[in-house]
């Protein structure tokens, strides 16, 4: 009887009292005033992370295009939050946990809307774009993969072996035009096709009017210059930025009310240097996609630099297509004209 009583009350170190003692010890550790004094360094790091995301537009671009570089990979800064959270728990720091609220709230405010599925049914005009890679070992398979999306209009960038793409797509698309290293293929008639000067000295952008059953749509296809991250120069994007300004001017002067931009812009919608373009158009992925829709690099996508943007029409859905032999993923969108 005495032994049973001792086991029930846990006086011999076992039973409910032992479990309760462990919980009480844990609670006592968090009730200790030290929880507000510990982890000050973690709290400072959390606060700086939150401020970096909150004030990213204030980062200077004069020093190695630091602002644009940060904005290109801005969503990935959120990965630091769970790491800091675990460290705060291990350190038993209430101060660090409270400080983490700033980066959490900021990240959710910036990117929370992209986490939900905004795709809808309907739409009557499907477009797709793909940087096929100049060194693509299988152009025909790449072209057929993009055509399989069912797109009414396909834009291809970084074309070199043009004839192989033309042959692969001729059965699906009656109309097409190639200007320099960019091309457009359409199921509907093309008119007023012309190169667009984006200040490069050679053609990497075009403009065409697509005569859809619902009326004309101005379609721009563009491949802005590449950017590089160099140790001694930072984020080298000057040529791309100048091309973005030129492309923005062309779109601003476009007389058609309905406009679609397809292409590899070598930058994300967050990158301030693309504002001459992004300020005029709406991202199909942001409006009607599911998730971030990262498109590059294809082996492990970390950024969406392949864009579909519209004006004068409503995006209904946006998605990435399966991997091809290119180093980019194709992207597609469906809109309502």
CATH code, domain with 167: 3.60.10.10
**Same domain? 181 vs 102:** no
**Same domain? 288 vs 158:** yes
Residue 312 lies in a domain: yes
Residue 61 lies in a domain: yes
Q: Supply the pLDDT for residue 34.
A: 74
172 phi and psi, to 5 degrees? -100, -35
Residue 44 lies in a domain: yes
**Same domain? 91 vs 129:** no
Beta strands in the chain (DSSP E): 125-131, 153-157, 175-179, 182-186, 190-195, 205-212, 215-223, 228-230, 234-236, 259-264, 282-283, 306-311, 314-320, 331-336
Q: Given 64, 82, 112, which residue is the final one in a domain?
A: 112
CA distance 155 to 262: 6
Residue 273 lies in a domain: yes
279 burial level (CB within 10 Å; 0-12, 13-18, 19+): exposed
**Same domain? 323 vs 253:** yes
**Same domain? 165 vs 256:** yes
Q: Supply the pLDDT for residue 21.
A: 66
Q: Given 51, 83, 112, which residue is the final one in a domain?
A: 112
**Same domain? 167 vs 267:** yes
Q: Give, as one character, the DSSP assignment of residue 291.
A: S
**Same domain? 58 vs 184:** no
Query: What residue numbers bound the domain in which 103 lies?
Result: 32-112
CA distance 283 to 315: 8
- Digits of tens for pLDDT over the chain (337 positions)? 445 444 444 444 444 445 566 656 655 555 566 788 889 999 999 999 999 999 999 999 887 788 898 999 999 999 999 999 999 999 999 999 999 999 999 999 999 999 889 999 999 999 999 999 999 999 999 999 999 999 999 999 999 999 999 999 999 999 999 999 999 999 999 999 999 999 999 999 999 999 999 999 999 999 999 887 655 545 668 899 999 999 999 999 999 999 999 999 999 999 999 999 999 999 999 999 999 999 999 999 999 999 999 999 999 999 999 999 999 999 999 999 9
Residue 54 lies in a domain: yes
Q: Given 112, 146, 179, which residue is the final one in a domain?
A: 112
The pTM (predicted TM-score) of the whole model is: 0.87
Residue 22 lies in a domain: no
**Same domain? 146 vs 106:** no
Asked if 281 and 309 count as a contact pair (C-beta separation under 8 A), the reply is yes
Strands 259-264 and 306-311: antiparallel
CA distance 106 to 112: 9
Sheet containing strand 306-311, strands side by side: 190-195, 205-212, 215-223, 259-264, 306-311, 282-283
User: What residues contact residue 296 under an 8 Å CB cut-off, 6+ apart?
Assistant: 302, 303, 304, 305, 306, 327, 328, 329
Residue 242's H or E segment, with its range, is helix 238-252
Our count of domains for the chain comes to 2
**Same domain? 156 vs 86:** no
Residue 290 lies in a domain: yes
Q: Supply the pLDDT for residue 234.
A: 53
Residue 120 lies in a domain: no
Q: Supply the pLDDT for residue 320.
A: 97
CA distance 69 to 298: 20
**Same domain? 328 vs 248:** yes
Q: Supply the pLDDT for residue 286.
A: 95
Asked if 257 and 298 count as a contact pair (C-beta separation under 8 A), the reply is no
């Amino acid at each position: 009887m005495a032994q049973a009583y001792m086991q029930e009350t846990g006086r011999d170190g076992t039973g409910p009292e032992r479990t309760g003692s462990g919980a009480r010890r844990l609670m006592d550790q968090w009730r200790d005033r030290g929880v507000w004094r510990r982890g000050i360094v973690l709290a400072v790091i959390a606060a700086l992370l939150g401020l970096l995301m909150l004030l990213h537009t204030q980062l200077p671009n004069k020093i190695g295009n630091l602002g644009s570089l940060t904005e290109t990979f801005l969503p990935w800064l959120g990965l630091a939050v769970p790491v800091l959270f675990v460290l705060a728990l291990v350190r038993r720091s209430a101060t660090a946990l409270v400080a983490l609220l700033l980066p959490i709230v900021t990240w959710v405010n910036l990117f929370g809307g992209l986490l939900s599925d905004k795709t809808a049914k309907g739409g009557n005009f499907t477009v797709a774009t793909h940087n096929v890679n100049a060194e693509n070992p299988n152009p025909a398979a790449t072209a057929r993969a993009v055509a399989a999306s069912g797109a009414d209009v396909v834009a291809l960038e970084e074309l070199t072996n043009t004839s192989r793409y033309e042959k692969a797509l001729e059965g699906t698309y009656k109309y097409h035009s190639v200007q320099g290293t960019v091309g457009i293929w359409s199921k509907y008639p093309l008119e007023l096709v012309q190169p667009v000067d984006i200040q490069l000295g050679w053609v990497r952008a075009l403009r065409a009017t697509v005569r859809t059953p619902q009326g004309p749509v101005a379609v721009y296809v563009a491949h802005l210059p590449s950017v590089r991250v160099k140790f001694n120069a930072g984020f080298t994007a000057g040529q791309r930025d100048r091309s973005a300004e030129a492309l923005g001017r062309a779109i601003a002067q476009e007389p058609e009310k309905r406009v679609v931009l397809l292409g590899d812009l070598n930058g994300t919608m967050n990158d301030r240097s693309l504002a001459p373009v992004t300020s005029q158009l709406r991202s199909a992925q942001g409006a009607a996609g599911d998730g971030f829709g990262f498109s590059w690099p294809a082996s492990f996508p970390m950024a969406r630099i392949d864009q579909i943007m519209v004006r004068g029409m409503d995006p209904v859905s946006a998605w990435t297509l399966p991997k091809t032999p290119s180093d980019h993923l194709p992207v597609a969108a469906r809109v309502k004209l």
